[in-house]
């Protein structure tokens, strides 16, 4: 079931089209990667979901109800540009933001103490925000975003400012929040993180959705039958065993092992190849090289976009 259904949303500012008929299905209890280069339209879509602005055309449904002001309390938003008040004390500000989301002071303080203890920041309560590093302030804002346990979390570059240890801490918390029932929209330029935690993604470029679907299905669809074979033996003997169904893309020797990257006409040809080359060399390993989300992102964004709406085609793996 969809938590959020975005239906043909269009938004323009003067002569600039920010979103052109973007439609998305964001499933309950999932992590949805909202991807795209700078200026693609991601921030505009996030602002519309948060009801900071409205679409010119199209509709958004929150659990099958048309998105309305009453849903704001069920949304938590961590913007890329952080918005903590520098002169306020950390605890005072966290309590204030929690009460804005409808929590009582007592409930907010109880849950904040739990989160501060979990993140090992108990001693920060009476510090002013301006005394914190960027990463420390990030922790505080993450806590204030998730504290009221919203159904929908929108996290825009949530790992910005974190070292690797704290990045892993936040990743762990995001996955736990999903497992406990939250739906998360995750906007980032870090494609490695997308592969690690996202269930589904959508790629927006120049105001239009150009790719969406499950991460696993997209990676499967963009495979190009490239394999790496590691063996011990003679490279000439290996090359002789190849036939026209294969192309050698790269080769290198590491110690006594030769690593060869080949492209096959079809994946099944590799089985036939192995039957031949095992008689010529000692095969150590064979594995298929699937494209990373970063590779797919770059490929799709660099493709020439059609100039007319009639020519525009969306790629979907629903």
Q: What is the structure's pLDDT at 317? A: 47
For CA atoms 175, 150, 82, 294, the dihedral sign is positive
pLDDT computed for residue 309 by the predictor? 39
Which value, in Å, is the radius of gyration of the alpha carbons in the chain?
A: 24
Burial of 200 (0-12, 13-18, 19+ CB in 10 A): buried
For 21-30, the pLDDT digits (tens) are 999 999 999 9
pTM of the model: 0.84
Domains 2-220 and 224-288 share a fold: no
What is the structure's pLDDT at 95? 94
* Domain map (residue ranges) of the chain: 2-220, 224-288
CA dist., res. 26 & res. 225, Å (int) = 31
CATH tag, 224-288: 3.30.70.1150
- Report how far residue 271's alpha carbon sits from residue 161's, in angstroms, rounded to the nearest whole number: 47
pLDDT of residue 307: 43
Of 199, 176, 218, nearest to 31 by C-alpha is: 199
pLDDT averaged per 10 residues in sequence order, the chain, 318 residues: 95 93 96 92 95 95 95 91 84 92 93 93 90 88 94 93 90 95 93 92 93 92 90 90 84 93 81 86 91 89 56 46
Crossing angle for the helix pair 134-146 and 90-100, nearest 10 degrees? Answer: 30
Q: What is the pLDDT of residue 183?
A: 97
CATH superfamily of 2-220: P-loop containing nucleotide triphosphate hydrolases (3.40.50.300)
């Amino acid at each position: 079931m969809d938590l959020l259904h975005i239906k043909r949303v269009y938004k323009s500012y003067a002569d600039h089209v920010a979103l052109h008929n973007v439609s998305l299905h964001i499933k309950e209890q999932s992590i949805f990667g909202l991807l795209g280069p700078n200026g693609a339209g991601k921030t505009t879509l996030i602002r519309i979901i948060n009801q900071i602005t409205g679409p010119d055309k199209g509709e958004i449904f929150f659990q099958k109800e048309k998105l309305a002001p009453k849903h704001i309390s069920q949304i938590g938003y961590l913007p890329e540009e952080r918005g903590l008040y520098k002169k306020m004390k950390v605890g005072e500000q966290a309590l204030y933001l929690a009460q804005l989301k409808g929590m009582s002071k007592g409930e907010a303080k109880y849950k904040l103490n739990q989160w501060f203890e979990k993140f090992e920041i108990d001693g920060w309560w009476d510090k002013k925000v301006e005394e914190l590093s960027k990463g420390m302030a990030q922790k505080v804002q993450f806590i204030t975003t998730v504290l009221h346990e919203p159904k929908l979390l929108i996290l825009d570059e949530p790992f910005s400012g974190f070292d690797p240890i704290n990045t892993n801490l936040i990743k762990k918390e995001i996955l736990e929040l999903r497992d406990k029932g939250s739906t998360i929209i995750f906007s980032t330029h870090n494609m490695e993180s997308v592969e690690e935690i996202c269930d589904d993604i959508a790629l927006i470029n120049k105001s239009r959705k150009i790719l969406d679907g499950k991460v696993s299905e997209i990676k499967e669809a963009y495979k190009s039958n490239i394999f790496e074979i590691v063996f011990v033996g003679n490279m000439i003997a290996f090359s002789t065993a190849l036939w026209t169904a294969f192309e050698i893309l790269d080769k290198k020797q590491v110690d006594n092992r030769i690593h060869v990257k080949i492209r096959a006409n079809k994946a099944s040809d590799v089985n036939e190849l192995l039957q031949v080359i095992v008689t010529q060399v000692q095969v150590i390993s064979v594995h298929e090289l699937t494209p990373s989300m970063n590779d797919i992102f770059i490929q799709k964004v660099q493709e020439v976009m059609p100039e007319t709406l009639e020519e525009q085609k969306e790629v979907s793996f629903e």
